[in-house]
């Protein structure tokens, strides 16, 4: 492709789209190679562990390359597109940019930072845009050209684009922290006593991926098997251990070939990681109680008959939770494990479980303690609709301090929910059904609900948890109790 002499190419990389997100899957490309894009025009739709996001490019010009097919999972910092900016429009744009410059235009590395900044939109989203971020250095082995990493990325060697050849061992020490794609990869290496400083990652700028660690572990296992055979004086060929490992893996896969494999990624993977961490780190306990919800249902019916906006049951339960947390603030807290401190939070941000086609998500209603039932009803409806449409932003899925789980919508009476880490408690609400109940000394049919509270035993004892749950039940049975706290 050819550019005007004063034009050059800029590379736009996958930005950090939210708290703790390290990767995203390409769902749909919104532009083709050769298209002219405007500043801040969305170029790709990606799915993170939290939401579906349209990613805008901060540069305007002609798209000269796209990296990754639809369905490819890219780590944060991997190239997304290159855009020819400045001068005349590109002619005959090819499918990929040249890694060495020349015909592909001025390499990104040679473009002055000030010039790149001036050409951007100035609209800095989370972790990217026109603000300059410190570049991560990659240490290369002696004799290895520094352009190798750029050439590999230009040829599509990113996670999911083609098989990873595995890490290259190097004896040269690495200064500073080792760039690793996620804490899970770091923990995997620690569990197997693998020194990450001995690996050169196959990700962008030397980023160490899970595949790199797994490759190193397989290589170490094969090497250990060959060493043991040599010491025992066996007559097996040098690659016997590797062959045995491959055979065992193939046999294991064959044994499970009659099933369907579903990748544990995206929302489902994020849920799995978070729940596993909660079970691993939080010493939780659960208490429960049955409550007569007849009066609460009558109160809601009366409120909705007044002609104003309809009030949802979950909004009333949220108001009850807020009043209970004001009396028992221990449950609106989090544990700082490093400082060994309990942090009691001043504001109540209520998460609520929402089931969607993409899996379970927990949107967060901010500052519940400042909203009335009408405002809460509207916010719950808005977030639920956004969740089902996959339009929740990362900010709407993070920062909760307490969670309300209405599993009664699934037709079940009770549950022992897992705490939404790093919160300290979760209130579960079962279905409300007619049951025989002793009311005012006589047996009657009443609307009964089971309430359960799972709490972090580090932040409080059973007396506090029981007091919280009993107060919630009292408000459900006698809504006038709640009115006295407002």
Active site residues: 457, 461
Cα–Cα distance measured from residue 1 to residue 33, given in angstroms and rounded to the nearest whole number: 12
Asked if 452 and 290 count as a contact pair (C-beta separation under 8 A), the reply is: no
CA 17, CA 19: separation in Å to the nearest integer?
A: 7
* Helix residue ranges per DSSP H, 289-437: 294-304, 313-327, 373-388
Sequence-separated (6 or more) residues with CB below 8 Å from residue 38: 60
Assign residue 462 a region (left: φ > 0; alpha: ψ between -120 and 50; beta: otherwise).
alpha
Residues 72, 311: Cα–Cα separation, whole Å:
43
Note whether 459 and 333 are within 8 A (CB): yes
Closest CA to 376 of 300, 433, 307: 300
Helices (H) and strands (E) in the chain, counts: 11, 19
Q: What is the DSSP letter of 346?
A: S
Whose CA is closest to 419, among 314, 318, 283, 287? 283
Tokens 């990873």: give the residue: 164
Q: Is 300 left (phi over 0), alpha (psi -120 to 50) or beta?
A: alpha
Q: First-to-last CA distance in the chain?
A: 69
Tokens of 14: 């996958």
**55, 14 contact by CB (below 8 A):** yes
List residues bridging with 364 in a β-sheet.
Answer: 351
Q: Rounded to 5 degrees, what angle do the CA atoms 317, 323, 328 make?
A: 120
């Amino acid at each position: 492709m050819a550019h005007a002499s004063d034009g050059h190419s800029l590379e736009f990389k996958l930005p950090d789209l939210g708290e703790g997100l390290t990767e995203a899957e390409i769902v749909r490309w919104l532009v083709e190679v050769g298209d002219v894009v405007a500043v801040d025009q969305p170029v790709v739709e990606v799915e993170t562990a939290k939401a579906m996001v349209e990613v805008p490019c901060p540069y305007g010009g002609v798209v000269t390359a796209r990296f990754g097919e639809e369905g490819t999972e890219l780590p944060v910092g991997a190239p997304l597109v290159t855009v020819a900016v400045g001068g005349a429009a590109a002619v005959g744009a090819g499918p990929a940019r040249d890694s060495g410059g020349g015909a592909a235009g001025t390499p990104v590395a040679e473009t002055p930072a000030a010039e790149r900044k001036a050409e951007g939109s100035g609209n800095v989203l989370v972790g990217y845009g026109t603000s300059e971020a410190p570049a991560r250095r990659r240490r290369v082995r002696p004799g290895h050209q520094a352009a190798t990493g750029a050439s590999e990325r230009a040829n599509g060697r990113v996670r999911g684009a083609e098989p990873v050849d595995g890490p290259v061992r190097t004896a040269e020490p690495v200064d500073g922290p080792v760039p690793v794609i996620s804490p899970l990869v770091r923990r995997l290496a620690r569990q197997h006593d693998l020194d990450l400083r001995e690996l050169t990652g196959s990700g962008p700028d030397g980023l160490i991926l899970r595949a790199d660690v797994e490759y190193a572990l397989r290589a170490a296992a094969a090497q250990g098997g060959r060493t043991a055979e040599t010491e025992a004086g066996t007559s097996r060929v040098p690659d016997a251990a590797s062959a045995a490992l491959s055979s065992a893996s193939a046999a294991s896969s064959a044994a499970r070939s009659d099933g369907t494999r579903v990748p544990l990624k995206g929302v489902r993977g994020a849920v799995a990681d978070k729940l596993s961490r909660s079970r691993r780190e939080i010493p939780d306990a659960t208490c429960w109680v049955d409550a007569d919800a007849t009066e609460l249902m009558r109160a809601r019916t009366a409120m909705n008959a007044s002609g104003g906006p309809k009030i949802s049951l979950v909004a009333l339960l949220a108001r009850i939770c807020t009043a209970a947390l004001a009396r028992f603030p221990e449950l609106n807290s989090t544990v700082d494990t490093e400082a060994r401190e309990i942090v009691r939070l001043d504001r109540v941000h209520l998460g609520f479980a929402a089931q969607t086609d993409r899996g379970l998500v927990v949107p967060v209603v901010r500052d519940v303690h400042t909203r009335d039932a009408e405002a809460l009803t509207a916010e719950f409806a808005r977030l639920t609709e956004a969740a089902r449409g996959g339009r929740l932003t990362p900010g709407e899925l993070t920062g909760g301090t307490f969670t309300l789980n209405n599993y009664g919508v699934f037709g079940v009476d009770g549950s022992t929910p897992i705490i939404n880490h790093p919160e300290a408690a979760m209130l579960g609400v079962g279905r409300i059904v007619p049951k025989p109940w002793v009311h005012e000394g006589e047996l009657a049919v009443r609307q009964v609900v089971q309430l359960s509270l799972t709490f972090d035993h580090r932040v409080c004892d059973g007396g506090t948890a029981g007091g919280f749950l009993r107060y919630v039940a009292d408000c459900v049975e006698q809504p006038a109790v709640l009115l006295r706290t407002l």
